[in-house]
Amino acid sequence: MLQTMTQTNRSEPLLPDSEVLRRALASVDPSDLLMTYAYLTHDRDLLERMAPHIRPLFGLEPTAIPDELVEELRSKAFIALTTAGATRGEMPSRELMQRIMSVGMGEQVDDEFVDLLFEQCGFVVPQARKSRVDRTMPPQGFKVLLVGAGLTGLAAGIKLKEAGYDYICVEKNADVAGTWLENVYPGVAVDTPSHFYSYSFHQKADWNHYFPRGEQVRQYLNGVADHYDLRRNIRFESVVTTMAFDEASGLWNVTIRDKNGHAEVVQANAVMVAHGRLNRWSLPDIPGIERFTGPVMHSAGWDRSVDLEGKRIAVIGTGASGAQIVPNVAPDAGKVTVFMRSRYWVMPNPKISGTVPEETKWALANIPGFQQWFRFGIYWNASDGYYQHVLRDPAWPDDAPSVSEVNEQLRQYGLSYMQQKLGHRPELLEKLTPDFPIFSKRMVLDAGWYDALLRDNVEVENDPIAEILPNGIRTRSGAVHEVDVIACATGFNIARMLGDVQVTGRDGRSLNEEWGDDDPRAYLGTTVPGYPNLFLVGGPNTGPNHGAGANLVAEAVINYIVECLDLMVARDAATMEPTEQAYRDWNDKIDDQLTRMIWSHPKANSYYNNSAGRVFLSNPFRLVDLWNWTRKPVEEHFLLGRAQN
């Protein structure tokens, strides 16, 4: 059941005439305004007259709407918003909504996307499960244990609460927000646009930046926890150490240790693991690191009390975190030496450091429907639109540094950007130019990274580190770099998805042993045979590595898990686990599709891969595919059972 998110009242104007409204209409993007106007008025005439002038964001020709049409649009939008009865009181038909989407993006939006877009953009919201008259409510005493209170865990708590499930959440930190509570390094930010990196059901209109700073995300998630009163269900400064399934009772015995070392065993009917990927960090295994006499900090364990002014700073790592840290510490540092372990493709985005104009923030907060259409445009251009770049063309040479014509075009764009920024420094250009296809590793958005590397007090060292000395770093060539502070932007142990939690299933099976250090597998990335009622959020092969969408994936998988719980309750079952056949078929499907993806390219090797080269993280399908597959479980893919006692 769905409910329309935005309704209008035709008996009175939607907004009063004001100078701020006029400024907003004059400043917002015409395509966003056109979609909003057509949504409110159902005006097909202006929509179709503007359609020939709007082009896809990544098309060969830019959007060029004639000035007279733009002025007509702004005038009609003003009348619609300030005149009683000028707007329609109901949401447009599905067909018109799809047409508005297609015109606004300058390309066809296929029907398979529409339901996802309705939900993810906030045009409709699912009816709260516990208010559905045709649904069996969870029985008294049915308890879910949730691990993690970051972006994923908070969403899970909201949806469990809406469905009427009793749950407790275990969180190792003293507050919510997960990685956005922990990561406080200079320049910490998100490389997903602000207006999409948020819950579809709790959007935020007043982001200050187009790409949010870490502190802004932390504030957003704190606000979510307050709004939904989630903290009452969270045990802070506590960790789960073991989970053991009891076959007789059909329950999980979960050992929780608090900050004082006190251990308690809690029984739960189901367990949801939502402790995030960017959670398990450690300092790099470099000889001598323990002997260094100055501060050594990981990006996720940054000590803000360390004074960096005038210091000689070593930054180990050139991925997303390193590319944010260096521009923010270099201006005050005496010298920054960047130790490059890997090369990355770096792409420009004019909005990466841009602030959202006040007129746009006002429009997002006040013009009905504008926020939903603004979010739609971001999703369409930042997510599945990139999928074509990660598909390998079977006719494309295997030894080429790209995987298709469109991927090569983007590679050439990346090369031209590097030439533009670094062409006058050929030695630096040579050090930084990747030899692997663009999109086969996580890309870096340039928020001052290249400019920082061009500073007189910044040096890029690609000679591998041999050891760390008490006062510096020695590379393999024997060169010694004396430094005062070491900053490790060296990532996370993502492959060890269970962290330090020991998980024991049926017949004493150990999931830790079955997965080993880096080979996790699951059915639909969520459940594993032999481990009933154990659900993973952010599990194997669910990473949206072709574009933005971590929040979308989290919402989709959480929906699926709650649907699984509902199926158990409706069937009066105590346990639920996937069949071995469904598990094997799904993983065969994953492995087969991965052969067609960019991540199987001979030179594609990143944290997406395990030590054997298998891609364990990336979802090789589109986000819309995953969303559709997670609407509800296929009952015949599961074994439903009763407790033995």
pLDDT band of residue 573 (cuts 50, 70, 90) is very high
Q: How far is CA 496 from CA 62, 499, 501, 526, 608, in A?
A: 44, 6, 10, 15, 12
Same domain, 480 and 369: no
Q: Reply yes or no on whether the pLDDT at 369 is more than 80.
A: yes
Given 488, 507, 531, the domain boundary residue is 488
Instruction: Let me know if residue 585 belongs to a domain.
Output: no
Given 488, 510, 538, the domain boundary residue is 488
Cα separation of 236 and 174, whole Å?
Answer: 5
pLDDT band of residue 35 (cuts 50, 70, 90) is very high
Same domain, 404 and 462: yes
Specify whether the CB–CB gap between 82 and 17 falls below 8 A: yes
Which CATH number goes with the domain that contains 425?
3.50.50.60
- Give the total number of structural domains in the chain: 2
pLDDT tens-digit series, residues 488-503:
999 888 889 999 999 9
Between CA 424 and CA 432, with CA 427 as vertex, the angle to 5 degrees is: 100
Same domain, 450 and 367: no
* Percent of the chain topping pLDDT 90: 89
Specify whether the CB–CB gap between 469 and 348 falls below 8 A: no
Look at residue 422 and give its three-state secondary structure. helix
Angle of helix 370-382 relative to helix 30-41, nearest 10 degrees? Answer: 130
pTM of the model: 0.96
Same domain, 462 and 370: no
pLDDT tens-digit series, residues 583-615:
999 999 999 999 999 999 999 989 999 999 999
Instruction: Let me know if residue 295 belongs to a domain.
Output: yes
Same domain, 364 and 342: no
Cα separation of 185 and 635, whole Å?
Answer: 46
Q: Reply yes or no on whether the pLDDT at 560 is more than 60.
A: yes
Cα separation of 539 and 548, whole Å?
Answer: 17
Predicted pLDDT of residue 10: 60
pLDDT tens-digit series, residues 433-461:
999 999 999 999 999 999 999 999 999 99
- In the block, tokens 């998805």 appear at 497
pLDDT band of residue 58 (cuts 50, 70, 90) is confident
| Residue 584: CB atoms within 10 Å | 14
Instruction: Let me know if residue 40 belongs to a domain.
Output: yes
Between CA 174 and CA 14, with CA 224 as vertex, the angle to 5 degrees is: 160
pLDDT tens-digit series, residues 141-182:
999 999 999 999 999 999 999 999 999 999 999 999 999 999
Q: What is the mean pLDDT of the chain?
A: 95
Tell me which residue range forms the domain holding 103. 2-128+357-385
Same domain, 406 and 296: yes
Same domain, 26 and 101: yes
Phi first, then psi, for residue 315 (nearest 5°) are -110, 115
Q: How far is CA 295 from CA 181, 285, 623, in A?
A: 21, 16, 42
Given 435, 466, 488, the domain boundary residue is 488
Instruction: Let me know if residue 326 belongs to a domain.
Output: yes
Same domain, 298 and 338: yes
Instruction: Let me know if residue 74 belongs to a domain.
Output: yes
User: What mean pLDDT comes out for the span 77-91?
Assistant: 94
pLDDT tens-digit series, residues 206-223:
999 999 999 999 999 999
pLDDT tens-digit series, residues 241-288:
999 999 999 999 999 999 999 999 999 999 999 998 777 887 899 999
**Sign, CA torsion 100/106/112/117:** negative
| Residue 135: CB atoms within 10 Å | 16
Predicted pLDDT of residue 645: 72
Q: Which residue intervals of 495-577 are DSSP H helices?
A: 511-515, 550-570
User: Which are the contacts of 628, defined by CB distance < 8 A and separation ≥ 6?
Assistant: 112, 115, 116
Tokens of 181: 């509570």
pLDDT tens-digit series, residues 286-338:
999 999 999 999 999 999 999 999 999 999 999 999 999 999 999 999 999 99
Same domain, 39 and 62: yes
Instruction: Let me know if residue 509 belongs to a domain.
Output: no
